[in-house]
A and B are shown apart, each in its own frame.
Chain A
């Protein structure tokens, strides 16, 4: 089967800036990238690795230093035509004087409406759909400057959706959001990619969320190399850890997250199952213990009348505790 033309593809792309006559290369060794319909791609990378620069370059906000970007197979687009293909959610703060949520979302129709910006029924139905999809109906008449960061993020997403483009790019959409909002936003984007067949590319620092939700991860390293692949592959082959891990930060491959504490090797034998086992292991690691096959310190997690209970055995002494806190007090 011959692959159809991708929505977006790049060749020999080099991103960076011109300052005066000097060229500052941010990412000079990018592989050829592809965006397909219905795909959700997370762009990950440490601070300063060039995530925003790559997004800005792909979306046409800044020119590439060299290389080509093809959208639907074509590499030259006028700004007006490009706006019908790519919509953006940026980190720029918007507080437009006197602007209501409704009229801000309506601005998303800019590339489609006439020269005075009058809206027809197709425009209005797109706006309504975008407002419903993002669940900001109750905010419609609010002024932009009265919104919280999270609400404002959703409104900007609604504006981009109203633009109704096959490609949607978001620059750190989860920044400033609380955890449930982050999860909801990610879930919404995932759903949108599936249901509307949009290609969604977002940069984020939420590694664990990205690992869960992304169809593909683009991993930018400081220095400008980029690895792409299914998130699980990148974890398994160590690319993920290599991108972020420094001497004091380690990646826990089993849990899929980075460890705040440095692992120490106080041996402990741990037995049990279910969530209680999982959380006990986490607590023990935080306290500097590492579960091993055989150790003097022996901890067993059991269920008794629906509640977990921790049984400790150390050089003949035994004890029974009903919380992890008590357990940790005893063993450390």
Chain B
């Protein structure tokens, strides 16, 4: 049992890295704030520069917290989907819930430029708009319900996977129809939303997102034993007393809650969900979900914080959409991990 000390070293290292990433994310932005100043904002607020205090506490801290929530939620959702479907390519969007959220947003944004929409977007900013969030939640929620109803009737998880993908593509097709009949301005607004954004989730919205993500993660943690059993396939899982339908319902609920809420608040953020579970398995060298779920949280959070810091393009005024950065940083990372592994696991 030489695994345990190694695991501890890795855990400590990751925690340190997470802390660093968090501070780095706070310090980068259109104005660069040094680490010392950031510490001063938190430790002795009376001596800190009030502008920087506002920037750090009012803008960057909520953004970093959003990154933490989204990083945890998306990577744990991805892990659950990869295990449930025994497919290394699965991610939280595979159930169609993300597409459902997008459909909700598209419906609002592209609804022929209704006055309410335009007003809400102008008044509250796009990603921070309650209207957009509400629409996305309705979209994600109804897709989740549809998936759950269908999942009760399906015999195995392979069928479930196909159904999820089909629902996703129907939803995307509906969005395309909408885009086709909308004017370019509206389509551009919608496209901007699909790039994803961690900013703009503040105050009440952040608390709501936090509560929902914590609920989703708790359900995920409680399903870790079921996920372990599912590694052996549905027949063995059943022979060990697992009820596959019940397990599927619990896991789909957890992933849908996580992916749906995060997409509603931040827009669709890709890649984290598919890449982080692989990194977690590689770093912690285990298949036990009791370890992998916290590991995914740690790694997902760190990765998303780093991506967000890079998105600020240090020293420049430009901010790249988070979705672009996650792919640009994430893909080479996964390729590098695969190359270091002597064999690619088959499922």
Contact = CB atoms under 8 A, between A and B. Distances in A.
Given A92-B233, A104-B232, A117-B225, A110 B240 contact: yes
A94 B241 contact: no
Nearest to A93: B233
Contacts of B231: 94, 96-97, 99, 107
Contact of A79 (B224, B241, B281): B241
Interface string B219-254: 000101100110111011011111100000000000
A75 B345 CA distance: 41
Q: Chain B contact residues: over half helix, strand or loop, or mixed? A: loop
A115 B227 CA distance: 12
A121 interface: no
B32 interface: no
B227 to A, nearest CB: 10
A83 B232 CA distance: 15
B229 to A, nearest CB: 5
Interface in A58-72: 59-61
Contact of B233 (A87, A94, A111, A115): A94
B287 A96 contact: yes
A211 interface: no
Contacts of B238: 60-61, 79
A84 B241 contact: yes
A84 B238 CA distance: 12
B346 interface: yes
B225 A92 contact: no
A281 B154 CA distance: 59
Given A115-B222, A163-B240, A110 B229 contact: yes
Given A83-B240, A90-B235, A111-B240, A103 B288 contact: yes
A94 B225 contact: no
A83 B345 contact: no
Interface in B272-305: 281, 285-288, 290
Size range of the chain B interface in the assembly: 20 to 34
B287 A97 contact: yes
A94 B286 contact: no
Contacts of A100: 286-287
A103 B239 contact: no
Interface in A84-130: 84, 86-88, 90, 92, 94-100, 103-104, 107-108, 110-111, 113, 115-117
A144 B275 CA distance: 22
A84 B346 CA distance: 30
B240 to A, nearest CB: 4
Given A92-B233, A116-B225, A117-B225, A79 B287 contact: no
Contacts of A87: 239
B88 interface: yes
B347 interface: yes
B47 interface: no
A272 B297 CA distance: 78
Interface string A284-315: 00000000000000000000000000000000
Contacts of B290: 116-117
Nearest to B82: A97
A76 to B, nearest CB: 15
Given A79-B241, A79-B242, A82-B241, A117 B224 contact: yes
A107 B241 contact: no
B239 A107 contact: no
Nearest to B288: A103
B236 A83 contact: no
A99 B224 CA distance: 15
B225 A88 contact: no
B316 interface: no
B345 to A, nearest CB: 5
Contacts of A163: 240
B46 interface: no
A145 interface: yes
Given A79-B242, A79-B243, A96 B225 contact: no
A80 interface: yes
A145 B228 contact: no
A108 B281 CA distance: 22
Contacts of B228: 107, 110, 117
A87 B229 CA distance: 14
B44 interface: no
A88 B241 CA distance: 11
B114 interface: no
B225 A110 contact: yes
Nearest to B237: A110
A288 B239 CA distance: 50
A97 B281 contact: yes
B224 A83 contact: no
A94 B88 contact: no
Contact of B286 (A78, A81, A98): A98
Given A110-B225, A117-B224, A117-B290, A95 B345 contact: yes
Given A83-B240, A98-B345, A107-B229, A92 B287 contact: no
Contact of A97 (B236, B239, B347): B347
B51 interface: no
B343 interface: yes
B236 A94 contact: yes
A228 B292 CA distance: 49
A98 B287 contact: yes
Contact of B239 (A86, A113, A145, A146): A86
Given A90-B239, A100-B286, 7 more contacts: A61-B235, A80-B241, A94-B236, A110-B229, A110-B241, A113-B225, A146-B343
8 closest residue pairs by CB, A with B: A83-B241, A96-B231, A117-B225, A80-B241, A110-B240, A88-B239, A99-B287, A111-B241
Interface of B: 82, 88, 222, 224-225, 228-229, 231-233, 235-236, 238-243, 281, 285-288, 290, 343, 345-347
19 contacts: A60-B239, A61-B238, A81-B241, A83-B240, A88-B235, A92-B235, A94-B231, A94-B236, A95-B347, A97-B347, A99-B231, A99-B287, A103-B286, A103-B288, A108-B240, A110-B225, A110-B241, A110-B242, A163-B240
